């Protein structure tokens, strides 16, 4: 079967576009940056966290800053608004976390929660926007009175907006996220984590931040 030159050029363009976009689309994360315990009822939370996304396949590393504001609605449910500023785009999102179970002893508790939310990424320099749904099961447990080890599986299902015909407009990001949360005082926590990419559409990242609680 003979393929016209126009069709060949079109196929090459679509493949090249997809590869270029794949590098750009993997460079914006807000991170998990929390334990499996929810915010206490009636408490506000403010947080700021620098985030470094490591480039892959020759792409540069990307630096950004994430900010969060949250509120504890019940003893087991909270919600957070999220905002991230990156070199290649801006992240806006919101999620809710439900604390499914927790241990009874302060220094040996094992907690499990489930977080789900929506987010939007607005590309810069003619980059494409995308919208995503994220779901994150989390485990955490105290190893000392102030130090908590955290682990999460972060799955994000992305949809690219207004892409040319013939380009796949959806992809999935998947990260395994080990981290720590250290209580510095009754109102301040230090949180740090490393996101391990589990598929080709994801990149490793490192994030750390300070959470402040208004009681």
HSE-CB at 147 with a 13 A cutoff on CA atoms is 5
CATH 3.90.180.10 fits 5-214, yes or no: no
How does pLDDT run across 139-183, given as a tens digit for each residue? 999 999 899 999 999 999 998 877 666 666 788 999 999 999 999
Closest CA to 186 of 212, 148, 209: 212
The pLDDT value recorded for residue 116 is: 97
Rounded to whole angstroms, how far apart are CA atoms 151 and 119? Answer: 21
Question: Domain segments of the chain: what residues?
Answer: 5-214
Average pLDDT over residues 115-130: 85
Closest CA to 211 of 90, 83, 68: 68
The pLDDT value recorded for residue 24 is: 45
Query: Cβ–Cβ contacts within 10 Å for residue 120, how many?
Result: 14
pLDDT band at 14 (very low <50, low <70, confident <90, very high): very low
Rounded to a whole number of angstroms, the CA Rg of the chain reads 19
What is the SS3 assignment for 212? strand
Mean pLDDT of the residues in the chain: 85
In the chain, % helix, strand, coil (3-state, to 5) comes to 10, 55, 35
């Amino acid at each position: 079967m003979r393929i016209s030159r126009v069709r060949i050029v079109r196929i090459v363009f679509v493949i090249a576009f997809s590869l270029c976009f794949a590098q750009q689309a993997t460079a914006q994360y807000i991170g998990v940056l929390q334990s499996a315990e929810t915010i206490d009822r009636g408490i506000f939370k403010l947080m700021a966290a620098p985030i470094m996304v490591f480039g892959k396949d020759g792409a540069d590393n990307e630096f950004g800053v994430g900010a969060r504001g949250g509120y504890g609605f019940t003893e087991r449910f909270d919600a957070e608004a999220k905002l991230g500023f990156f070199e290649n785009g801006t992240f806006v999102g919101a999620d809710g976390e439900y604390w499914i179970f927790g241990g009874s002893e302060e220094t040996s508790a094992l907690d499990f929660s489930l977080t789900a939310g929506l987010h939007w990424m607005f590309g810069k320099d003619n980059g494409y926007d995308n919208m995503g749904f994220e779901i994150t099961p989390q485990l955490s447990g105290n190893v000392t009175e102030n130090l908590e080890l955290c682990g999460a599986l972060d799955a994000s299902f992305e949809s690219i907006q207004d892409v040319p015909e013939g380009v796949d407009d959806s992809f999935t990001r998947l990260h395994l996220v080990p981290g720590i949360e250290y209580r510095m005082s009754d109102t301040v926590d230090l949180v740090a984590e490393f996101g391990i990419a589990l598929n080709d559409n994801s990149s490793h990242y490192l994030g750390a931040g300070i959470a402040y609680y208004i009681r």
